[in-house]
Structure 1
Amino acid sequence: MALRISSWAIKRPLVPIVIFVGLVVTGLMSFSRLPINGMPNVNIPVVNVSVFLPGASPTEIESQITLRVETALAGIGNIKHITSNVTDSVSSTKIEFQLGTDINQALSKVRDQMIGIKPLLPRGSEEPMIQSIDADVVPILTYAVQAPQRSIEQSTLLVDTQISRALLAIKGVAKVQRQGGVGREIRIALDPVKLQSYGVTAAAINDQLLASVQNLPAGRIDSAGQETLIRTLGAPTDVVSLQHMNIALPGQRFVRLADLGDVIDTTASQRQIARLDGQPLVGFAVYRSKTASEVSVEKEVQAVLKEIQANQPDVSFTQAQTLVEFTQDTYHAALWSFIEGALLAAAVVFVFFRNWRATWITALGIPLSVIPTFLVMQWLGFSLNMVSLLALSLVSGVLVDDAIVEIENIMRHLRMGKTAYRAAMDAADEIGLAVVATTVVIVAVFVPVSFMGGVVGQYFIQFGLTVAVATVFSLFVARFITPVLAAYFLKPFDEAHAPSSWMSSYRRWLEQALAKPKTSLLIAIGIMVATVLIASRLPTDFMPFEDKSQSTLQVELPTGSRIEETDHVLGLMTAVLRKKPEVQSVYTVAGGADVDTNIDGEVRRASVLVRLKPKSERDVDVKTFEQSILQDFAAIPNARISVLNENGSKALTFSLASSKPDDLAQTAGALETQMRGLPVLKEVSSTIPLPHSEYVITPRSEDAARFSVNTEVIAEAGRVATMGDLNSNLAKISLDGRQIPLRVQLNAGAKEDGVMIGQMLVPNSEGVMLPISAVADINFSAGPSSILRYDRQRQITLEANLNHATLGEGLDAVEQLPALKNLPKTVKRFDTGDAELLGEMFDSFLMAMVFGAMVVLGVLVLLFRTVLQPITIMVALPLSIFGACLALWVFGESLSLPSVIGILMLSGIVGKNGILLVDCIIETIASGKSRHEAILEAAQQRAKPIVMTSMAMIAGMLPLVLGFGAVNAFREPMAVAVIGGLIASTALSLLFVPVVYVLIDDFEQSITPKLRGLLTLEK
């Protein structure tokens, strides 16, 4: 079958050359504009709904807010999961939609549903906060603001106003989250004894201030021929004026505010404390929007901070954490690996050709294929990330594949004494079908696979389409540019072409294999069985560990711990860490905050960011360092300290869910205990709700009815007195150009005495003041400190880090635990985190392999117009998987995402050996040779280009295996799998493909002509 497009290009050389010059120029422009990120963007549509009810316990919030929110949102279409996190005062519900859902439409539907249930939410709850989650889960940058001459309150103001506003103006910055710091407020600390004597409540005082302390417009009049505005000025201009403000009392009396308590210009209660190397300060984290470039965002953030620092010399910024540094290292390492691979591939070509002209013509195919690929990547919205760059690195050897086949065939014609022009014309079109077929097979595998669903599918998209696009361009180069350059630049030569020793040995082995085809087939079947056995023994993991020169620790103290206690524990940890020679800086944050809502979290929780020196400057890796410090931290009492991965969770996580809270807690407790006994796990923990002490006010219905006091009045009186009212209900006065809130509450001494709760006054319907104890019972009790929910059921998450084991080994061990094997019918288990992605990865991989094999078979049937012989070509696939699994086992690699992508890549590229052989056998038989002679002649003719292309691909990937540095962990498993698969498929397919061809041909000849016609397309 002749494809004469190369002849057309040789006759009109300027047309393809001009086209490719244009593609190279536009490709280079696109390359400079592509965003640089660590990983592909995984765009999961998520909407978060948060409702704040100050002072409410998790149990109350669940029943009064969370259940109503979940019920209202459950009817929205395309929802994948609904998860809720209920803590003191806060209900946070995340709605995860199916991939591909329009986030704007989803956000609109959520808002509509929340409008409908707003009247059902309890009085006192703040306006629901509804937002789509556009930012990454973890910040790409964290900075500490060092300003020794400023107070923490002044540094807080600097971050909240100047820094945050300047950074949020940067394109690509989704969120700036302050860490630590305190706000300014005027605290009105009331004396409970004076409140009782004057017969007034904290809530009543707050309401009076809210109504009176404000400046309002009062209309306008026309005076003396001009329009004049009228203003009502009720807000004091300073604290002293506020102290002298009169408060109305029952019986038309009044009293000065200062006579009821202290009026203090101070700071708000501190719920977070940030420190760098033990020094208190304010920090902030920068979150990138999912479509932005990490590197570009980091550069612009640095520029803005330098400008702020130039204007305010007393302020400096220290980078406490960064993901961008690793991203840049990965980017530069990938580019160097690509260049090294291209040079090695060119060197392999020269070793075989021994001809400089043929070498540079072949090697030119690499840049001519890659550079135009950047144009398509920009059009598709891709970025230069670890996956797409790895695709280009792996494909560097593949890109010369077609050119090698073209040039080798042209040189064979040159040895016949033809001119370069005639040799190019004859040879290029002669090999056309095989060249097109090898490329079409790769594209046929990767294009459909690229549209797989799920989170893992997001990785396949950029890898698969990048490989497919680059391969298509390599086909265009091989069919248009390579023959043109060969026709006009190669020189004719008369070189004796004696068969090499390895070729003679190969011919002998092939003749022996053909002489005993059934024995050869049994050997091939044995290799396939060995593949299954090796693969079943490979450890499994989702992602290989990367040393990013930083470590994240999670700290948890017992329930009821104060922020001062949490900060003290962090101080002990900092002292230990600062003694380690590997440590560069220690950044601690006492008191958690919800990443999505920025609402204060539990003060008993904390995080520690440890930045290590570069890997070249330390003797231990991050894992060894983490094991060492955890042993040192064991001496710190009442603190649970764990290592988190880059996603903010432990290595192994899964959850249990049930509508029966007691069954759930009992099962999770038993499972946690059994997990602690597994040697492959460490730092086992769970989210089983810990008991949180609380005072419970229970109104006595008879007394409450007799005195006309309702529950809502009691709750409001207690909340305002102990915490102050909602932020939206606080009066504010203007001081120093800012609106400062007035927080009314009991003084600190009264709030520490639980007896005072019963003495607090509440008004009845007639305005008569009564102590709470007159209408309600007050008891000390305990309730859950937090509640997690998953798809409208209670949820408990169990997590652990791995002790010298892979994720697959950890999951296998957990699966065998009695508590998990005998789950109650009321409890169900589901994977989360990397465990969920691991299962999704293997499901996607199996589907991709089966689908890819079917697509390849279909393409080969269409190209060769027969059903049976394409099966011969498919023999290379299981042979390559054998080599890949064996290589992974020998090098001690796990079956992880990069190695799975590598095996998937093999399914596209290893078919080329069979295509070249079978195509040549068919053409040789068509020329009149016997089958045996045709097989031997085709094998000898195609063995050299097959070995050359495989060697070039292997050489192109060697830098990925032999490269040094912390950024090699993701690339190495993929390269190992591909190299192992190429070696095995090349060596074995040269023997087994001809044997299978004979067996299939014999079968085809043995069936009836009518059946044979059904298996052959009309020619």
Structure 2
Amino acid sequence: MKPIYPKSVRDRFNISQWAIQHSWLTLSFWIGVMVAGILAFTSLKYALFPDITFPVVVVNATAPLSTALDTEAKLTKPLEQRLQNLPEVDDVRSSSYPGQSVISLESPVGTNLDVSTRKVEDALKQVKLISGAEYKVIPFNLNESAVISYAIESDKQSLQDLSNLTKQKIIANISKLPGVLKVVLLGEPTQDSNSTSLPGQGATLIRFNSKDAMVQSTRLSTIAIQVIKRGDANTLEVVGRVEAEVEKLRLSLPDIKLTLASTQAEFIRKATQSTIDSLIEAIVLSVVVIYPFLRNWQATIISALAIPVSLMGTFIVMAMFGFNLETITLLALALVIGSIIDDAIVDVENIMRHIDRGETPRQAALLATSEIGLTVTAATLTAVAVFLPIGLMGNVVGQFFKPFGITVSAAMLTSLLVARTLSPVLAIYWIRGKERKEAEEQKKWGYFAQKYQDLLKWSLQHRKIVMGLAVLSFLVAIAIIPIIPKGFIPKLDRGEFNVTYTASLTKLVAQSQQSAQDALGNIFSTDLNSLSVAGVASSNSLNNPLNDSLEIAKKLENIIIKNADVENIFVTIGSRQGEVNKGTLYVKLKEKRQIKTGDLQEKLRSSLPQIPDITISVEDIQFVDSGVQKPLQIALKGENLKSLNQSAKAITERIQKLPGFVDVTYTGLGNTNDNIFQIERLNNQRVTYISANLGQINLGQNLSLGAATEKLVSIAKSTITPDVQLALEGDSARQNEVLGSFTWTLLLSAICIIIVLILLFGGWQDPIIIGISLPLAIVGAIISLLLTKSDFGMISLIGFVFLLGISNKNAILLVDYINQMRKQGLNREEAILEAAPTRFRPIMMTTASTILGMVPIALGIGAGFELRSPMAVSIAGGLISSTILSLIVVPTLYTILDDWFPRNSS
């Protein structure tokens, strides 16, 4: 009889023999790994998401030009033409106003911002601008964000004295803290006590819980500080240092009240802790499920030890790559818990089986590990072949999921080493044979194994029916896909959100001028056509658009504060770019609230006042600041401004009437045929952006991003004129990018799996069987998403990839042992009926441990559960269908392929 496997292949992967022969060296090695892992763990930082930098360089140019059209022609275009050919620039966006041009250069993720800035500065030196033109280059690292803000109040000091004290005592101390880039003072008074300075002069207006910068009736002075972290600094570390410093300041400044106004840290802490809790629960459940299967505490402990040891080895790799303990890596660890114990379970279960046959522990360990070695190695290496390509993906998606792919790969490779070295060594010393002849659990397993064997016999006799049902289930799953909502990142119940508004600057200035003229008896007047954003920002006239913008904020605040679930409202009027017509109301909800964040947002949208020429938007707080506020956005491209404006207006009016489309706006809202105030450009072409948030289409169910994008694109195509082109922007574009990236990654992963299996099995029939069995996992994953009403998006997509990596284990276990039985002289059917029931228990054990490890994540408990649940749901559902179907389909498919392509065996 010719062996199916070359002996050298199986021996090559039997490192267990070496580990058993050098048991004390093996134990010493893993003790060292544990110590190093603990040290590595203490060096890891907590975060919400991986560190992703979106480098943006902004060129802010001004010139004595009276119209936006002149600015575009004489200022924006010359600058764009020089800048658009710079290397490492993805997109060039610009906004042209009367006398001012703002050009934004977006570089690929990870680009060195300092280098990009220098290249821009060098390029601009070669541009010949019109007389009187000036420009400033401003580098923006969107990771340099405000991480915590405090309202500072005093009823004993004037606003000016409070500002001076804040600069000297508070800002000076906090600015010195590690990780702090700068501390911005908000609401600072101007030299003229009768007016408030404009953002262009370095100040903004603030309100905290309905208190202005100066409440005259109570002599209460209120200002605020905003702490901006460095781009490479950890949010939680910076916030922790600031909070500690603020506690000291409260003691040293008893007359000053410092109140937390807003922070990013609270949700990060809650979400991180919830994920850690799920990780711990997954560990407990994965361990607990082992004992009922093995009925042996020593074997249970040996299997369970694979988890902490593998985690310590993974922490070492994470520290080497500079990863954080954030949602993605913690999810990776939580998801992989059930899988990293699988290898040890299979090894230990096989050793126990040999011991129960009467072999000594040492003989059992040597025989069992040799028997199972190739199986365990193949299963783990094929999983790594899936996850490593994810860690090597490019662009934003790659940066986001690199920690996931590498963390999972590290955990699985470490668990393989544990199962092949530590577990058999411990089994030699700890596991002994059973004293009783036949344990009760063996009777039970014998009963289940017999029922499974009977079903298998029937399946082998009715192969067409079995394969027909398998194909039908797969086709049904594919047919269900269009029904599942398509999303990008799930909406979170964070307990905080922003309400933003943008007023038409022309009207805001006109109102402010009218107020000043009324007050001063029409002393002066100004030609609006000659008034630019820069001109507004530098105006020292008695009229102040910022104060009029404040009145808009007050109207919105009065409605929001009436909600009983609102705890704080922190208002900032004037953006960091110096735009006086914009304001943000940060709304913090109470810890014990009676309403979900999304439901309150929806309630506010219907109750906030409709103010002419003012757009109001209820915004989610972004996971990662990419510069785009709304998830749904399209761009209309063309050179005819009239066509762009009319098309945008018509599309906006149509989608505003549809359920689920909320806060719909378009750029250039104040433009008319006679007065073009704002011109947007994208990559050297005029453009108008239409954007929207996603609201509820019925109680508790939001419009999905996929459905919204399809509807918006359909309406836009039927509305735009022939000289206007359509392009996706925002999350709508990122969704396609993610799907495209994952498609190529999955293709690469599939190729890697096939190559690994061919190398390990020494032929192509077995890899084909294992590969064809993979779609069986999709059936349960899709059905589970449908039943739980989860979106098919970036998070659930990770679950599908995870399934691809781990669902082949069952097939490998079956096929490998069938081949071993045939090698020992059994015919094909005898080998199947012997091997499959024998592998039934370890398959059920590994499946149960993995699924139970998913339960805490799938249940949807704790902050940020919306990010974790879809992934676990899809994996658990996929494993159930994969296990049930593969136990029948894989042996059946084995016989079919063996009939078509007989193996060389006697």
Relative to the length of structure 1, the TM-score reads 0.78
Per the alignment, residue 112 of structure 1 pairs with 122
Per the alignment, residue 627 of structure 1 pairs with 602
Per-residue deviation, 1:639: 4.3
**Percent identity of paired positions between Structure 1 and Structure 2:** 31
Report the secondary structure of 1:77's partner residue. coil
Per-residue deviation, 1:175: 4.5
CA RMSD of aligned residues (A): 2.4
Per the alignment, residue 733 of structure 1 pairs with none
- Report 1:289-300 matches (<5 A): 289-300=230-241
Take 1:148 and 1:89, find their aligned partners in 2: how far apart are those partners?
A: 43
Of 953, 978, 1001 in structure 1, the residue corresponding to residue 850 of structure 2 is 953
Unaligned stretches of 5+ in structure 2? 1-9, 213-221, 509-544, 623-627, 697-702
Say if 1:534 and 1:885, in contact at 8 Å, map to a contact too. yes
Take 1:641 and 1:923, find their aligned partners in 2: how far apart are those partners?
A: 69
Take 1:480 and 1:629, find their aligned partners in 2: how far apart are those partners?
A: 60
Say if 2:566 and 2:588, in contact at 8 Å, map to a contact too. yes
Per-residue deviation, 1:291: 2.8
Report the secondary structure of 2:568's partner residue. strand
Pick closer, same or farther for the CA change 1:783–1:481 going to 2, 3 Å. same
- Deviation per residue, 1:172-216 (Å, 9 max, x gap): 33444443323437xxxxxxxxxxxxxxxxxxxxxxxxxxxxxxx
Q: Does 1:607 align with 2:584?
A: yes
Per the alignment, residue 550 of structure 1 pairs with 496
Relative to structure 2, which stretch is displaced further, 329-338 or 673-682? 673-682
Q: Does 1:655 align with 2:635?
A: yes
Per the alignment, residue 123 of structure 1 pairs with 132
Per the alignment, residue 16 of structure 1 pairs with 26
Per-residue deviation, 1:32: 1.7
Per-residue deviation, 1:515: 0.8
Q: Does 1:866 align with 2:763?
A: yes
- Deviation per residue, 1:902-935 (Å, 9 max, x gap): 1111000001111111111111111111011111
Per-residue deviation, 1:65: 2.8
Say if 2:390 and 2:745, in contact at 8 Å, map to a contact too. yes
Pick closer, same or farther for the CA change 1:15–1:298 going to 2, 3 Å. same
Unaligned stretches of 5+ in structure 1? 186-263, 595-599, 693-780, 1006-1011
Report the secondary structure of 2:141's partner residue. coil
- Deviation per residue, 1:556-587 (Å, 9 max, x gap): 33442233332223223222222221011111
Say if 1:321 and 1:550, in contact at 8 Å, map to a contact too. no
Say if 2:59 and 2:102, in contact at 8 Å, map to a contact too. yes
Relative to structure 2, which stretch is displaced further, 513-522 or 285-294? 285-294
Per-residue deviation, 1:362: 0.3
> Partner amino acid for 1:914?
A
Take 2:805 and 2:102, find their aligned partners in 1: how far apart are those partners?
A: 46
Q: Does 1:508 align with 2:405?
A: no
Per-residue deviation, 1:102: 4.2
Per the alignment, residue 686 of structure 1 pairs with 666
Pick closer, same or farther for the CA change 1:266–1:1003 going to 2, 3 Å. closer
Q: Does 1:784 align with 2:688?
A: no
Relative to structure 2, which stretch is displaced further, 173-182 or 291-300? 173-182
Per the alignment, residue 698 of structure 1 pairs with none
Take 2:804 and 2:897, find their aligned partners in 1: how far apart are those partners?
A: 21
Per the alignment, residue 435 of structure 1 pairs with 376
Report the secondary structure of 2:492's partner residue. coil
> Partner amino acid for 2:421?
F
> Partner amino acid for 1:900?
L
Say if 1:16 and 1:481, in contact at 8 Å, map to a contact too. yes
Take 1:23 and 1:785, find their aligned partners in 2: how far apart are those partners?
A: 65
Report the secondary structure of 1:136's partner residue. coil
- Deviation per residue, 1:700-756 (Å, 9 max, x gap): xxxxxxxxxxxxxxxxxxxxxxxxxxxxxxxxxxxxxxxxxxxxxxxxxxxxxxxxx
- Report 1:82-101 matches (<5 A): 82-87=92-97, 90-101=100-111
Per-residue deviation, 1:518: 2.1
Relative to the length of structure 2, the TM-score reads 0.87
- Report 1:457-468 matches (<5 A): 457-468=398-409
- Report 1:282-681 matches (<5 A): 282-494=223-435, 495-496=437-438, 497-498=442-443, 499-559=445-505, 560-561=507-508, 562-594=545-577, 600-601=578-579, 603-614=580-591, 617-634=592-609, 639-647=614-622, 649-681=629-661
Relative to structure 2, which stretch is displaced further, 6-15 or 926-935? 6-15
- Deviation per residue, 1:204-232 (Å, 9 max, x gap): xxxxxxxxxxxxxxxxxxxxxxxxxxxxx
Take 1:176 and 1:527, find their aligned partners in 2: how far apart are those partners?
A: 59
Say if 1:64 and 1:122, in contact at 8 Å, map to a contact too. no
Pick closer, same or farther for the CA change 1:58–1:411 going to 2, 3 Å. same
- Report 1:738-749 matches (<5 A): none
Per the alignment, residue 895 of structure 2 pairs with 998
Q: Does 1:794 align with 2:686?
A: yes
Per the alignment, residue 219 of structure 2 pairs with none
Report the secondary structure of 2:146's partner residue. coil
Pick closer, same or farther for the CA change 1:88–1:382 going to 2, 3 Å. farther
Per-residue deviation, 1:374: 1.3
Relative to structure 2, which stretch is displaced further, 665-674 or 468-477? 665-674
Say if 1:179 and 1:272, in contact at 8 Å, map to a contact too. yes
Per-residue deviation, 1:825: 4.6
Relative to structure 2, which stretch is displaced further, 352-361 or 3-12? 3-12
Per the alignment, residue 79 of structure 2 pairs with 69
Per-residue deviation, 1:59: 4.1
Take 2:737 and 2:227, find their aligned partners in 1: how far apart are those partners?
A: 30
Per the alignment, residue 186 of structure 2 pairs with 179
Take 2:270 and 2:198, find their aligned partners in 1: how far apart are those partners?
A: 42
Q: Does 1:277 align with 2:287?
A: no
Pick closer, same or farther for the CA change 1:691–1:822 going to 2, 3 Å. closer
Per the alignment, residue 61 of structure 2 pairs with 51
Per-residue deviation, 1:955: 0.9
Per-residue deviation, 1:675: 1.5
Per the alignment, residue 711 of structure 2 pairs with 813
Report the secondary structure of 2:289's partner residue. helix
Say if 1:43 and 1:99, in contact at 8 Å, map to a contact too. yes
Take 1:628 and 1:151, find their aligned partners in 2: how far apart are those partners?
A: 39
- Deviation per residue, 1:686-712 (Å, 9 max, x gap): 1124149xxxxxxxxxxxxxxxxxxxx
Say if 2:860 and 2:868, in contact at 8 Å, map to a contact too. no
Per the alignment, residue 251 of structure 1 pairs with none
> Partner amino acid for 1:802?
L
Take 2:469 and 2:879, find their aligned partners in 1: how far apart are those partners?
A: 19
Say if 1:7 and 1:425, in contact at 8 Å, map to a contact too. yes
Aligned length: 830
> Partner amino acid for 1:650?
K
- Deviation per residue, 1:829-850 (Å, 9 max, x gap): 2222221211112112222222
Relative to structure 2, which stretch is displaced further, 412-421 or 945-954? 412-421
Take 1:292 and 1:80, find their aligned partners in 2: how far apart are those partners?
A: 25
Pick closer, same or farther for the CA change 1:465–1:181 going to 2, 3 Å. same
Per-residue deviation, 1:285: 2.9
Pick closer, same or farther for the CA change 1:528–1:447 going to 2, 3 Å. same
- Deviation per residue, 1:885-907 (Å, 9 max, x gap): 00010111110211110111100
Take 1:35 and 1:828, find their aligned partners in 2: how far apart are those partners?
A: 46
- Deviation per residue, 1:952-981 (Å, 9 max, x gap): 001111111225233211100000000001
Per the alignment, residue 965 of structure 1 pairs with 862
Say if 1:365 and 1:400, in contact at 8 Å, map to a contact too. yes
Pick closer, same or farther for the CA change 1:466–1:89 going to 2, 3 Å. farther
Say if 2:52 and 2:109, in contact at 8 Å, map to a contact too. no
Per the alignment, residue 148 of structure 1 pairs with 155
> Partner amino acid for 1:798?
I
